[in-house]
Amino acid sequence: MNDEGALVLLSGGQDSATCLAWALDRFSRVETVGFDYRQRHAVELRVRQEFLTALRAAFPVWADRLGEDRVLDAGALAAIGDTAMIDQVAIEIGENGLPNTFVPGRNILFLTLAAAVAYRRGLRHIVTGVCETDYSGYPDCRDDTVKAVQVALNLGMESRFVLHTPLMWVDKAETWRMAADLGGDVLVEMLVEHTHSCYLGDHETRHAWGYGCGECPACALRAAGWARWTEAR
């Protein structure tokens, strides 16, 4: 166990919830932070609390390591707007080749705010669920971006933060497998029931892999990963 402490960016989605389990398996003290940016799928802010409650109940050892949770206001992203992640518009590919669900600067802002929290809380390690193997093509999810942000944060705050990206080089099937390795079928079922990935905010339609519209890019990635993982079990 690492006694330095970690802060996990917990959105309420499958990836960040898996990263929380990863951190709890490695650090003796773990805190969590989420962000309200008026996202279209704001239901994720509710289910993240359900996941934390279920996690504490199912894994007492992890519950002892799990500390303070907070949600920060990142509403400036909504004021900028012009993205399908916030506005009620159809999801499509833009002229720049990126899906219009891309929120410019979102992950850079989140990591900066998380580092400010970590600085105040005395936490050296920051864990985020970004990935460039099986994702929607967002440039701020890339390894090079995260490494550059780590350098900037350490220079700007005169600190020694370490940014961890446990999912950077794994696909969604491997993410499901990682969860099973960390917490068995209990954790997998919690991910199915108490996390949300659907960009459209559909948390009523239930599939084997969880809740969602089943058609948006986030649902497609999650469903395909589940299918590959279950077939390989």
> pLDDT, tens digit, for every residue of 197-227?
999 999 999 999 999 999 998 999 999 999 9
Domain assignment of residue 74, yes or no: yes
Q: What is the pLDDT of residue 156?
A: 98
> Which strands sit side by side in the sheet containing 162-164, from one edge to the other?
66-73, 30-36, 6-9, 125-127, 162-164
Nearest to 194 by CA among 68, 102, 57, 67: 57
Compute the average pLDDT of residues 81-96.
78
Number of domains in the chain: 1
Answer whether residue 156 is part of any domain.
yes
As a whole number of angstroms, the distance between CA 223 and CA 127 comes to: 24
Instruction: Give domain status of residue 226, yes or no.
Output: no
- Mean pLDDT, the chain, as a whole number? 93
Q: Which pTM does this prediction carry?
A: 0.95
Q: Is residue 204, in this structure, part of any structural domain at all?
A: no
Cα–Cα dist 22/30, whole Å: 11
Confidence band of 135 (pLDDT split at 50, 70, 90): low
* Residue 225 resides in a domain: no
- Which residue range(s) make up the domain with 94? 6-191
Instruction: Tell me the per-residue pLDDT of 147-204, one tens digit each, with 9 for 90 and over.
Output: 999 999 999 999 999 999 999 999 999 999 999 999 999 999 999 999 999 999 999 9
Give domain status of residue 141, yes or no: yes
92-125 exposure pattern, b = at least 16 Cβ within 10 A, e = fewer:
eeeeeeebbbbbeebbbbbbebbbebbbeeebbb
- The enclosing domain of 36 has a CATH number of 3.40.50.620
pLDDT of residue 148: 98
Has residue 219 been placed in a domain? no
158, two tokens? 């005169």
Q: Encode pLDDT of 20-34 as tens digits.
A: 999 999 999 999 999
pLDDT at 12 over 80: yes
- Rounded Cα–Cα distance for residues 233 and 53 (Å): 28
